[in-house]
Amino acid sequence: MRISQMHGLGAPVFSFEFFPPKTPEAVEELVSTVAELRDMHTPDFVSVTYGAGGSTRETTLATIARIQNELKITAMAHLTCVGHTAAELKTIVQQLVDAGVENILALRGDPPKGETEFTRTSGGFGYASELVGFLQQNFDVCIGGACYPECHPESKTRADDLDYARQKVAAGASHLTTQLFFENRDYFEYVERARKMGIEVPIVPGIMPITNVKQIQRFTKMCGAQIPEALLGRLERVADDPGAVMAIGIEHAILQCRDLIAGGAPGVHFYTLNKSYATRSILAALRGLRTR
């Protein structure tokens, strides 16, 4: 099923994001985890990330195919511009389509490990909007894009950043998923500004349940997100107690999600870091919000 169709059914759409495992054993563990989620009737779809320069290409393709075909769960494949020519990307997408995948998240992608700046590959693309347009012109797939409530670190201004999102939608993106954030005000203000600019597609909030203090500080530094001082203070006081950190992270995420859905968000996309316990706990608390 296409994700754009899910958003027309009148109920919040919940999705989990996983990164491709590095070993055969980890692959089986991930497939088992997703199967358990299927048996719980969650999520509506699963997305699998794509390593810089295609470093996880084969594992990503194989994992996506198994989720889509063996587990019968709608899968969305991430696709980046990093290190690929247009011809190579065309081959990759054709493989996905041949495997029955019809949902793709089109991203520019981060620089490969050890590099600080993105470099356009000769014969490739330099912007996500270009990749979206390429997919729209060459394949019959549902295309998603990313957006940034607190502004992408490389954008000069919030206005510029929002215009990049508008370009993705104009090129063919049917839905947008936000980078992680912890203040719902940032999301709602972003959506309001997007609507005024004429962006009408669903803008799905991306939520990362906090399970490790140092890890979340590292992630927020990379993506430009901010952790509220009160929340950070609570986390730092129990940083050496993994159980207490997770409890605080789950509590905050539940409050976030309830407020987001009540405020009109079309669903929630969970960045799981391949640890689904926290996300399953959050979804259990949100179960009453699902009427589909």
**Positions marked active-site:** 17
- As a whole number of angstroms, the distance between CA 4 and CA 16 comes to 16
The answer to whether the CB of 12 falls within 8 A of the CB of 290 is yes
Phi, psi for 133 (deg, rounded to 5): -60, -40
How many residues belong to the chain?
Answer: 292
Strands (E), 29-154: 45-48, 75-80, 103-107, 142-147
226: nearest Cα among 159, 280, 153, 128: 153
DSSP 3-state of 179: strand
The answer to whether the CB of 48 falls within 8 A of the CB of 18 is yes
Check residue 172 and give left, alpha or beta (phi > 0: left; psi -120 to 50: alpha).
left
Q: Which residues of 204-219 are buried (b: 16+ CB within 10 A; e: fewer)?
A: bbbbbbbbbbeebbeb
Longest dimension (CA), the chain: 52
* Tokens (6 digits) for 39: 């048996």
* Tokens (6 digits) for 177: 């998923």
- As a whole number of angstroms, the distance between CA 285 and CA 198 comes to 34
Angle between helices 242-262 and 184-196 (to 10 degrees): 30
